[in-house]
Structure 1
Amino acid sequence: MKAFVFKRYGKPDQIGFADVSRPLPKSDEILVQVHAVGLNPIDNMVPKGTFKPMLKFQLPATLGSDLAGVVVEVGSGVTRFKPGDAVFASIFGSGTGSLAEFAIVPEKAAALKPANLDIVQAASIPMVGLTSWQALKDHIRLRPGQKVFIPAGSGGIGTFAIQLAKYLGAKVGTTTSIGNVDLVRSLGADEVVDYKKQEFENVLRDYDAVLGTVRGDALLKSLQILKPNSTVASLIGPPDAAFARARGMNAFFTFVFGLLSRKIINQVKKRGIAYSFVFVHPDGGQLAEIGKLLESGHIRPVMDKVFPFEQAKEALAYLAKGRAKGKVVVRLK
């Protein structure tokens, strides 16, 4: 079968298409014929080796983690799915990828495709949906009436997280450029800052939580808009010692991550703020709950551009520019 792989870390010329063996599902896995793959920024970071301590791949490895498609084979222990079922899933962290004609999906990571979404829309959801769900519900524990700051509101995470936060009853502040103001307001944003004209920390006040999505000094600046006893959940790091311990990393990485996060940890402690690093994990049960919100219309997918499979490299390059409004998807079928 055809797959889009990387053969070595840190070598852009070692990324491309290859013919690989069609995988066979184990007892607790399903084999999915992939129809579409949603791309995420981490797909460009993995081949660089950024996540080598956290994600284990046997090279050459297939890129991609989100998918939507049709089940063609199930393992002997699978009970929730059968051949012919349309499913969507994230296989992030499983050691394999989704940018291929067929992909192995653990049964526990998959959910039935929402009936009202087409296959491309469904493929755009898993990573951003699960990340937003785990950050806002599990880490922040967002409650009705609270105010949450979700920067970069027109991006893949932003467009989903704003809608989920509004569904949870929160008020949402965000940043975007003037051309995307109408988009983020249509998703439910209450306070919108044009980052090209204003510094958000000079405008926003008395927030209960921040979802860290922007690299650079934005995370530290966001502490200025928070109340005491508030919460920061960061998707972009730095990873902390608690994260290393939770993933069973050795003492060396626990120490290193402790050093990397020392500055932000010291700053949040001074302000009485709780900090956590969010590293998404696949969860078919949560994805099924997200599917219900999509079917009910409480959340809608926001799409930017769809590329054919043959242009997977161009799709990743487009995503890397950081200008996408919503999600970038590769279509195979």
Structure 2
Amino acid sequence: MQEQSTAVRLDAFGGPEVLDVREVPAPQAGPGQVRVRVTAAGLNPMDWIMTADADTAARFGLSLPAGFGTDYAGVVDQVGDGVTGFAPGDRVFGGALSRAVAGFVVVDLAGAVAANEAHHTPDGVDDRTAATLAIAGRTASAALAVIAPGPDDTVLIGGAAGGVGVFAVQLARIAGARVIGTGSASSADFLRELGAEPVAYGDGLADRVRALAPGGVTAAIDLHGTETVHTARELGVPDGRICTIATQLDGVSAANGANAAPGALEELARLVAAGRLRVPIAASFPIEQIREAAKLQAGRHVKGKVVIDL
């Protein structure tokens, strides 16, 4: 009898209402691959953006029936021919594009492509945390590389309480920079805990930032739209030290996780293991509640990360 596994499947593209939990044939590791028994899967805006409609899905190479979720953590339980460096029982984390919310994922080790990969999970990093690192952590790392903050910088980060923001704020602080983070009034305490000085977004943002930092802002990252970019320009920040992740503007660099430097993910995991970087888990859900989890994540008001427990 064929081995079965639980997995989230979509028979149509759309919102959380199209997500179903099914019993499916368990994938098997082929040559150069490992199979991972997934223990946790982290959700990202990218997950529901790329499965919202057929045209967007096609750009990511997705077709129906599709899976859901990309970030995962778990334990290797099958090793294909030709694989070295991994053995059954090894704890691992990484990305499996739009198929991570499942009992098992198979990843190809030879390609070393983001979202089809496995990395050893360091001691001191729990699986829930490891399952949040791949997309948001890499994206934050790529954005930080654009602006290259240091001890003489005051960095304005827009959307600082979100999934990428929690990494960007802390990485900028680790680099020695002062960080001002935009968010809602309800996120102020959360941002302070991360090491940012909170400021409310919306009309008058530039004036509020001036009041907080009369000496000026020297770099900015916009993690949501364009408000932070326009504010940074108004405050005299040169375009070369402004970065976006969710939109593109002439003259401003856009970063995404695929641009992250080699080894960025392992470095993030080392920082977590060393206690220098923490990942706030806003909520966790069993796989049976995938629709509720996706709705919460898609609302874009989550402070930190949403994780599925398997």
Residue 192 of structure 1 aligns to which amino acid in structure 2?
P
* Percent identity between the two aligned chains: 32
Q: 1:146 to 1:230 in 2, by over 3 A?
A: farther
The 3 A distance-change label for structure 1 pair 83 and 8 is same
State the secondary structure of the residue aligned to 1:227.
Answer: coil
The answer as to 2:26 corresponding to 1:16 is no
Query: Which structure 1 segments of 5+ residues have no match?
Result: 239-263, 269-274
Query: How far does residue 112 in structure 1 lie from its aligned partner after superposition?
Result: 1.7
Answer yes or no: is the 8 Å Cα contact 2:159–2:222 preserved in 1. Answer: no
Match of 1:34 in 2: 38
Equivalent in the alignment of 2:256: 279
Secondary structure of 1:315's aligned partner:
helix
Equivalences for residues 161-180 of structure 1 within 5 A: 161-180=168-187
Counterpart residue type for residue 276 of structure 1: S
Deviation at 1:156, TM superposition (A): 1.4
- The alpha-carbon deviation at position 227 of structure 1 amounts to 2.3
Equivalent position amino acid for 2:256 in 1: F
Change in 2 beyond 3 A, CA 1:28/1:234: farther
Distance in structure 2 (CA, Å) of the matches to 1:299 and 1:141: 18
State the Cα deviation string for residues 196-251 of structure 1 (Å, max 9, x = none). Answer: 6x63222325333222211364543443234235322211123xxxxxxxxxxxxx
Distance in structure 2 (CA, Å) of the matches to 1:156 and 1:18: 28
Runs of 4+ in 1 over 6 A off after TM superposition: none
CA–CA separation in structure 2 for the residues paired with 1:7 and 1:130: 30
CA drift of 1:315 comes to: 0.4
In structure 2, do the counterparts of structure 1 residues 217 and 290 end up closer, same or farther at CA, with 3 Å as the change threshold? Answer: closer
Partner of 1:159 in structure 2? Answer: 166
- Name the TM-score, length of structure 2 as normaliser: 0.86
The CA distance in 2 between the partners of 1:42 and 1:224, in whole Å, is: 30
Does residue 193 (structure 1) correspond to residue 205 (structure 2)? The answer is no
RMSD in angstroms over aligned alpha carbons?
Answer: 2.3
Does residue 132 of structure 1 match 2:140? yes
Question: Where does residue 103 of structure 1 map in the other structure?
Answer: 105
Query: Do the aligned partners of 2:19 and 2:290 also contact (CA within 8 Å) in 1?
Result: no
**Which residue of structure 2 lines up, in the alignment, with residue 43 of structure 1?**
47
Amino acid at match of 2:155: V
Aligned position for 1:289: 267
Report how far residue 283 of structure 1 moved.
Answer: 7.9
Q: Residue 115 of structure 1: which of 115, 120, 123 is its match?
A: 123
Name the structure 1 match of 2:245.
Answer: 235
- CA–CA separation in structure 2 for the residues paired with 1:117 and 1:322: 26
2:305 is the alignment partner of 1:327: yes
Q: TM-score, normalised by structure 1?
A: 0.80
Distance of 1:105 and 1:283 partners within structure 2? 21
Aligned residue pairs total 293
Partner deviation per Cα, 1:92-136 (whole Å, 9 max, x = no partner): 4xxx41011101223333222232232222212222211111221
Contact 1:110–1:284 (8 Å) recurs in 2: no
Most deviating of 117-126 and 37-46: 117-126
Cα distance change on mapping 1:179 and 1:55 into 2, 3 Å: same
Show structure 2 runs of 5+ residues with no match. Answer: 211-215
Structure 1 pair 15–180 and aligned structure 2 pair: CA distance change class (3 A)? closer
Contact 1:89/1:105 (8 A) holds in 2? no
Task: Please give the alpha-carbon distance, in whole angstroms, between the structure 2 residues aligned to 1:322 and 1:151.
Answer: 13
1:102–1:150 distance in 2 versus 1, CA, 3 Å: same
Q: Distance in 2 between matches of 1:216 and 1:145?
A: 25
Paired residues for 1:74-89 under 5 Å? 74-89=79-94
